[in-house]
Amino acid sequence: MIEAAFRGRLGSFDLDAEFRVPGQGITALFGASGSGKTTVLRAIAGLARLRDGRLQVNGETWQAGRRFVPPHRRAVGYVFQEASLFPHLSVEDNLRFGLRRSRSTARIGLNEVVDLLGIAPLFDRPTAMLSGGERQRVAIGRALLSQPQLLLMDEPLSALDRVSKEEILPYLERLHASLSIPVIYVSHDIAEVERLADTLVLMERGRVRASGPIAGLLADPALPLIHMPQPAAVIDGQVIARDARYGLTDLRVPGGVVTVQGDLGPIGRRRRLRIPASDVSLGRRAPQDTTILNALPARIEGAEETAAHQVVVRLRLGQRGEGAALLASVSLKSWDTLGLRVGETVVARLKAVALAAPGAAPELAQAPPAHTA
Ligand SMILES: Nc1ncnc2c1ncn2[C@@H]1O[C@H](COP(=O)(O)OP(=O)(O)OP(=O)(O)O)[C@@H](O)[C@H]1O
């Protein structure tokens, strides 16, 4: 468990942030620019000292009352927006520097880091010859080799172009799947957060508006996430069948089974689906004569009208709505014409299921197209 509470003033900024998140997996600190995300991260690292602070990381107290463990005594790895590698050292020597800094017995070794982050081809290169994405992979590797108890990442992808971002995300997903080190990940890119995070801490003007498992917060009508321009649901599932002939994988998700194009790995592997609301349509009956593969029963939990004459429908998979949260964006006209009601069970058709999963290939797998035959 990670328990943090920081109160104090920095210049004219008031911080009063408190949260309790699991001591494993990825926790995203998400919020608008200036909401205090970096300040919280710095306070966790001990780089900012708030007047009133409390911090416990998996049973160790780093700050409480007058106790304040100085930054160099906190086992944190810090990855910044722009990788600050030593320019005069090779990639290998930059990584070895991480190892030298660590005083504990190595939990993660150089070879494992090199494998996980695909660094072998870069090994002998001077850092000046690396792309932005490659530099960031080395910086993450160096942070991991310092044997942190906690990895702090401050917008690690925000300085990268879209292609480099897509290139590095699968490595982060792989780290997530392979390592047990908890990560606190600052971002203001919700798609990135939807892809990576297990837990979300939503920050607003120096305060924590909400925190908890990401799937619930994304679909919470009381929070602003569902009202953003492209709302999406995230659903974690497990591979239960693979069809080599058609190149399809079935994932069991809470309340149903989703068929996704592509090989998602062996039976039993956990994968994440990110399903934009705009890729889900609703009907009363299962579609006939259609190429669509995913038509799942779901119960309507609620509906929010948007300014753009759309309705974001909150659903839960399963006949009785016992499953995962799902969002559908339908036009106000369709909503009124069909006369759909809260509490009704409908058929949710998933047009495309973008996959965001640990160890995924760089490209996003797409579910088969939805046009009728
Ligand atoms: N040492 C400081 N002295 C004065 N003001 C500070 C200090 N550190 C941060 N602030 C202010 O605190 C506010 C929150 O900054 P912070 O960088 O934590 O926000 P953020 O959510 O990470 O924003 P961004 O996404 O733009 O990085 C800002 O208004 C910033 O100017």
pLDDT the model gives residue 168: 85
CA of 11 to the centre of ligand 1 (A): 9
What is the residue with the minimal CA distance to atom 7 of ligand 1?
A: 10
pLDDT the model gives residue 365: 34
CATH domain 2-218 topology: Rossmann fold (3.40.50)
Q: Which of 7, 12, 29, 37 to mutate to test the pocket of ligand 1 (most atoms within 8 A of CB)?
A: 37
The per-residue b/e assignment along 182-214, b for 16 or more CB within 10 angstroms, e otherwise, is bbbbbbbebbbbbbbbbbbbbbeebebbbbebb
**218/359 Cα distance (integer angstroms):** 23
pLDDT the model gives residue 262: 85
User: In this structure, what token pair is assigned to residue 117?
Assistant: 């982050």
User: Left, alpha or beta for 105 (phi > 0: left; psi -120 to 50: alpha)?
Assistant: beta
DSSP secondary structure letters along 191-228 = HHHHHH-SEEEEEETTEEEEEEEHHHHHT-TTSGGGGS
DSSP bridge partners of 251: 239, 258
List pocket residues of ligand 1, CB cut-off 6 Å. 10-11, 13, 31, 33-39, 188
What is the residue with the minimal CA distance to atom 28 of ligand 1?
A: 34
Q: Which of 6, 9, 10 to mutate to test the pocket of ligand 1 (most atoms within 8 A of CB)?
A: 10
What is the residue with the minimal CA distance to atom 25 of ligand 1?
A: 33
User: Left, alpha or beta for 155 (phi > 0: left; psi -120 to 50: alpha)?
Assistant: left
The domain limits of the chain are 2-218, 232-355
pLDDT the model gives residue 106: 61
**235/275 Cα distance (integer angstroms):** 8
pTM above 0.95, yes or no: no
CA of 208 to the centre of ligand 1 (A): 15
- Write out residues in the chain with pLDDT < 70, as ranges: 100-106, 289-291, 352-373
pLDDT the model gives residue 102: 61
CA of 78 to the centre of ligand 1 (A): 17
CA of 34 to the centre of ligand 1 (A): 5
Biggest CA pair distance of the chain: 69
pLDDT the model gives residue 359: 42
What is the residue with the minimal CA distance to atom 6 of ligand 1?
A: 10
How is domain 232-355 classified at the architecture level of CATH?
A: Beta Barrel (2.40)
CA of 54 to the centre of ligand 1 (A): 20
Check: CB of residue 59 under 8 Å from CB of residue 31: no
The per-residue b/e assignment along 140-164, b for 16 or more CB within 10 angstroms, e otherwise, is bbbbbbbbbbbbbbbbbbebbeeeb
CA of 29 to the centre of ligand 1 (A): 14
CA of 288 to the centre of ligand 1 (A): 54
User: Left, alpha or beta for 162 (phi > 0: left; psi -120 to 50: alpha)?
Assistant: alpha
pLDDT the model gives residue 366: 34
Q: Which of 38, 42, 80 to mutate to test the pocket of ligand 1 (most atoms within 8 A of CB)?
A: 38
Check: CB of residue 118 under 8 Å from CB of residue 171: yes
Q: Give the nearest ligand 1 atom to 41 CA.
A: 18
Torsion angle of C-alpha atoms 64, 16, 27, 84, degrees rounded to 10: -80
What is the residue with the minimal CA distance to atom 1 of ligand 1?
A: 10
pLDDT the model gives residue 373: 30
Check: CB of residue 145 under 8 Å from CB of residue 104: no
pLDDT the model gives residue 311: 94
CA of 9 to the centre of ligand 1 (A): 11
CA of 39 to the centre of ligand 1 (A): 6
DSSP secondary structure letters along 78-101 = EE-SS----TTSBHHHHHHHHHHH
CA of 38 to the centre of ligand 1 (A): 7
What is the residue with the minimal CA distance to atom 11 of ligand 1?
A: 13
